[in-house]
Amino acid sequence: MLSKKLLQELRKQVGYELYSAHFYMAMEAYCVSKNLDGFANFFKVQTEEERAHARMFFDFIHRMNGEVVLDAIDKPPANFKDLLDVFTQGYKHEQFVTSRIYLLMDIATADKEHATVSFLKWFVDEQMEEEENFQKIMKQLELIGDNVNALLMLDRELAQRVFTVPAPLATQAQ
Ligand SMILES: [Fe+2]
């Protein structure tokens, strides 16, 4: 059973995941405005992933017999200096989300709420991947510097990214 505190923090996480979708959609818009379709695609997929994460928390709370109460979503940043700024902000945001998942895991562990611990494990691994992704592209952008050809090559690479429904959601739907 979910404690009051755990339920409260899980509800907040639905909001943080929805904010993440908003945040990455703002980045998608920036990339579209720069005609960088591959980078825009990267953030489009990222946005879809975040919506899926919100859905996972939303469904989990209901499955645990909890009630979901939604809050307002904060306004995302509207201006970015350049692509490196975009990915640096994205990386910092992912580090924040990781700290949120760890907080949830700490509460669930202290509560001996094993179902929640099991549910959260997927997110611990997912966050590691997210941080790796952002850090990798950040470093590549630093290497690229002002080299337009290299930037367009990376843009073409990022155009290949496709959204796949997270495994726990896909199995749940069956
Ligand atoms: Fe997420």
Rg of the chain over all Cα atoms, to the nearest angstrom: 17
> If pLDDT is split at 50, 70 and 90, which confidence band does 173 have?
low
The CA-CA-CA angle for residues 65, 115, 94, to 5°, reads 100
pLDDT for res 105? 98
User: What separation in Å is there between the alpha carbon of 17 and the centre of ligand 1?
Assistant: 5
User: How many other C-beta atoms can be found within 10 angstroms of the C-beta atom of residue 19?
Assistant: 20
Give me the mean pLDDT over the 131-157 stretch.
Answer: 97
Rounded to whole angstroms, the Cα distance separating 153 from 148 reads: 9
Give me the mean pLDDT over the 124-143 stretch.
Answer: 97
Is 103's pLDDT higher than 80?
yes
pLDDT for res 174? 58
User: What separation in Å is there between the alpha carbon of 41 and the centre of ligand 1?
Assistant: 17
User: What separation in Å is there between the alpha carbon of 168 and the centre of ligand 1?
Assistant: 14
User: What separation in Å is there between the alpha carbon of 51 and the centre of ligand 1?
Assistant: 8
User: What separation in Å is there between the alpha carbon of 15 and the centre of ligand 1?
Assistant: 10
User: What separation in Å is there between the alpha carbon of 169 and the centre of ligand 1?
Assistant: 14
Give me the mean pLDDT over the 47-56 stretch.
Answer: 98
Rounded to whole angstroms, the Cα distance separating 63 from 131 reads: 29
Which domains, and CATH codes, for the chain?
Answer: 4-166 (1.20.1260.10)
User: What separation in Å is there between the alpha carbon of 155 and the centre of ligand 1?
Assistant: 23
User: What separation in Å is there between the alpha carbon of 147 and the centre of ligand 1?
Assistant: 31
Model confidence pLDDT, tens digit, residues 8-27: 999 999 999 999 999 999 99
Give me the mean pLDDT over the 104-108 stretch.
Answer: 98
Are 73 and 99 in contact, with CB atoms under 8 Å apart? no
pLDDT for res 31? 98
Rounded to whole angstroms, the Cα distance separating 123 from 11 reads: 15
The CA-CA-CA angle for residues 89, 94, 96, to 5°, reads 95
